[in-house]
Amino acid sequence: MSSVTPEIHETFGQGRVADLASRRTYEQAWRQFAQQQSTEEFCSSWLVIQSHTIGGVSDGVVVLLKPGTNAFAPVAFFPDTPRDRSHLAKISERALQTGRGVLEPREQPDDADADPERPRYQLAYPVRLDGEVRGVVGLELDWRPETQVQTAMRELQWGSSWLEVLLRRHADPKETETLRLKLALDLVSTLLEQPTLKESTAALTTELAARLGCDRVSLGLLKGRRVTVTGVSHSPMFEKRANLMRAIERAMEEAIDQEEAVVHPPVRDDRPVVARAHAALLLESEAGSAATFPLVHGEQVVGALTFERAAGHQFEVPTLEICEAVASVAGPIVELKQDNETSLPVHAGQSVKGLWDRLFGPGHPGFKLGAIGVLALAAVFAFAEGEFRVGADSMVEGVVQRAVSAPIDGFVMAAPLRAGDTVREGQVIARLDDRDLRLERAKLRSQREQFSKQYREAMGMRERAQAQIVSAQIAQAEAQLALVEEQLARATLVAPFDGLIVRGDLSQSLGSPVERGQVLFEVAPLEDYRVVLQVDERDIAYVETGQHGELTVTSMPGARFPFRIERITPVNMAKDGQNLFRVEAVLEEAVLEDAGTGAHLRPGMEGVGKISIDERKLVWIWTHGLTDWVRLWLWSWMP
């Protein structure tokens, strides 16, 4: 016994020393927790306290999101002594990815003292802020019964709320606002996922109740001066005439009438609001608190959202801020879905009512002034008169247009002029190759001389019959020679009169063959024009000979050339899907004599011509095309 006693005393002494050291560390952690100055100190002291509370913790780590980044980093360890914590890193990373608590036995190390039937446990739990994972806590525990392991996980879950308080206190206000708005958008996105308004409101209210910890969430739409509940969380089918639904509708109307969010009991120091209907709602539903937020689209209230929590639970300020953000974003979406499901007569009636309220109701001075201006302008157009003119695409042509064609089959030898050149009467435009004709002429002349010699010999020998035969051959040769001389004269193409070549260019076709009768050039006079207008069949009834008008060509948009209608062709032509009539007009003599603008006119110029009809009311001038089309359309459908 004496030999064993010192060992026992030594063992109990070491255990007592370890307990004293652990107690001192625990007390020091509480003092540091109460006086912490930084995030690292807070997390270190919290981890020590949490480890002592759970008990049997051999290793622990706290990992938080780095501010301003998307990376996670450890900020606290238990114990402080360095060691291999790769096993905790794996389970912590799994908790970050899944967003849920993870509990599993640790793989047994290669140690002879390890008991496979009593393994150690690893557990990790994520830390959230406004629904977003912002960190994780990982612990390694000694073996214990399964019920105690579940208790340890629950202790860790409750204790992690202190880290949430830390994150909220040190969070960047802009980042917190961004997270709150993101959560609100995620909630409102359920409105867009459903095809109908009824299904959308049911999905939104159910999602809000689940995510914000509400006992019931209701959405109502404003119709006239009354509110009708269209969606209740977890209740796709509900009785609209039930006392509870009516109490919810009165609470919504109370918030809409005040154009303010109503929270009862109040949790913020906002300006006082009337909450009698909300108090009645709490009595009817036996809930603990209620809050209603109007749904606004522009300046118009379209409905309201009412949130209810069970007895003993009230709304926190962050939750109310999320509710307010959801209401502000959901208002326009609800209004859009409601408009899409509104029938055409109802939609037209609402539009007329809205226009009437703007015109004769209070406010909207700019809209009223604009309406008065439009009415005044319409009155002016209804009684004022103006000149009615028919417009048409136009082109300038020469009164006479002469074609210069190929007189014989041949080849182009020279072409000094082309389209666009001004020519004088008799000026050479082009020449054809006449070498074959010259050879033919020399041959015929030789034949004629031979026949003449034979004729003289026959006359000298008094052979009258032979003389007559030779005389006929001489006449034949002279006729053929005259034909060749005429062809040689025509091989040179000349201008028939003073004018402008409007068509033809052989400068790039020297040596190319031409056929007899082929049109090579077209020449128009320079001082004698006519205007060809292509008038639409809808306006041809207003056009008469003798009417006057003005022409503007594309090359001279600032010049006006007066003309007079001379002829209307009674045959129409189709162009670009329209039926057009050819109307010919002559330019006034003053235009042709004007050396400034008239000298610049050329055949082939295109532009727009307007024919003056008479004086008519402006409203008729601008609407007669539409009214004529409507009359024709009605006539086509009449039996």
Q: pLDDT by residue (tens digit) across 63-119?
A: 888 765 677 888 888 887 767 777 788 888 888 888 888 888 876 654 545 566 778
The long-range contacts involving 169-174, CB below 8 angstroms and separated by at least 24 positions, are 170/39, 171/129, 172/67
175-179, 329-333, 374-378, 482-486: the lowest-pLDDT one: 175-179
Q: Which residue has the higher pLDDT, 533 or 435?
A: 533
d(CA 38, CA 472): 137
pLDDT score at 8 = 34
Global pTM value? 0.41
Find, among 165, 141, 166, the residue nearest to 151 by Cα.
Answer: 141
Q: What are phi and psi of 337, to 5 degrees?
A: -65, -35
Q: What share of the chain has pLDDT > 70, as a percent? A: 85
Element containing residue 578 per DSSP (H, E): strand 578-587
d(CA 236, CA 198): 9
- The three-state (H, E, C) secondary structure of 371-421, written as one string: HHHHHHHHHHHHHCEEEEEEEEEEEEEECCCEEEECCCCEEEEECCCCCCC
First-to-last CA distance in the chain?
A: 129
Looking at the domain 528-637, which fold is it? Elongation Factor Tu (Ef-tu); domain 3 (2.40.30)
Is the model's pLDDT at 408 over the cut of 60?
A: yes
CB contact set of 330 (below 8 Å; sequence gap of 6+): 188, 191, 204, 295, 305
* Residue 2 binned pLDDT confidence (cut-offs 50, 70, 90): very low
Query: Per residue in 144-197, pLDDT tens?
Result: 888 888 888 888 887 777 777 777 665 555 555 665 666 677 777 777 788 888
Task: Give span(s): CATH 2.40.50.100, the chain.
Answer: 402-522
Is the model's pLDDT at 272 over the cut of 60?
A: yes
Query: Per residue in 25-42, pLDDT tens?
Result: 666 666 665 555 577 777
Cα 205 to its chain centre, rounded Å, is: 32
pLDDT score at 129 = 74
The three-point CA angle 117-16-81 to 5° equals 65
The three-point CA angle 524-526-532 to 5° equals 65
* The domain defined by 402-522 carries CATH number 2.40.50.100: yes
22-26, 355-359, 519-523, 525-529: the lowest-pLDDT one: 22-26
pLDDT score at 29 = 62
Task: Give span(s): CATH 3.30.450.40, the chain.
Answer: 11-107+117-171, 175-341
| Cβ pair 554, 504 in contact under 8 A | no
44-58, 254-268, 346-360, 571-585: the lowest-pLDDT one: 346-360
pLDDT score at 3 = 38
Peptide bond preceding 294 in cis form (omega within 30 of 0): no
Query: Per residue in 585-604, pLDDT tens?
Result: 988 876 655 544 455 777 78
What does the pLDDT average to over 205-233?
A: 87
Element containing residue 166 per DSSP (H, E): helix 161-170
pLDDT score at 191 = 77
pLDDT score at 252 = 94
| Cβ pair 188, 332 in contact under 8 A | no
- The three-state (H, E, C) secondary structure of 65-131, written as one string: ECCCCCCEEEEEEECCCCCCCHHHHHHHHHHHHHCCCEEEECCCCCCCCCCCCCCCEEEEEEEEECC
3.40.50.150, 3.80.10.10, 3.30.450.40, 3.90.226.10: CATH of 175-341: 3.30.450.40
Peptide bond preceding 362 in cis form (omega within 30 of 0): no
Element containing residue 445 per DSSP (H, E): helix 435-460
What does the pLDDT average to over 398-416?
A: 79
Query: Per residue in 7-23, pLDDT tens?
Result: 433 433 444 444 555 56
pLDDT score at 250 = 93
3.40.50.1970, 3.30.450.40, 3.20.20.140, 1.10.260.40: CATH of 11-107+117-171: 3.30.450.40
pLDDT score at 396 = 86
d(CA 50, CA 47): 5
Mean pLDDT, the chain, as a whole number?
80
Q: What are phi and psi of 27, to 5 degrees?
A: -65, -40
pLDDT score at 254 = 93
Q: How many CA atoms lie within 13 A of 306 on its CB side?
A: 36
pLDDT score at 209 = 86
* Residue 466 binned pLDDT confidence (cut-offs 50, 70, 90): confident
Helix 365-383 × helix 344-360 angle, to 10°: 100
pLDDT score at 423 = 81
CB contact set of 415 (below 8 Å; sequence gap of 6+): 429, 430, 431, 505, 506, 507, 509, 510
Task: Give span(s): CATH 2.40.30.170, the chain.
Answer: 528-637
Is the model's pLDDT at 61 over the cut of 80?
A: yes
For residue 326, what are the CA distances in angstroms to 194, 203, 205? 17, 14, 11
Highest mean pLDDT among 309-313, 458-462, 548-552: 548-552
Is the model's pLDDT at 248 over the cut of 50?
A: yes
Ordered DSSP codes for 222-262: EETTEEEEEEETT-SS--TTSHHHHHHHHHHHHHHHHTS-E
Q: Which residue has the higher pLDDT, 496 or 250?
A: 250
pLDDT score at 14 = 44
Q: Which residue has the higher pLDDT, 188 or 573?
A: 573
pLDDT score at 18 = 46
188 DSSP assignment: H
* Residue 523 binned pLDDT confidence (cut-offs 50, 70, 90): confident
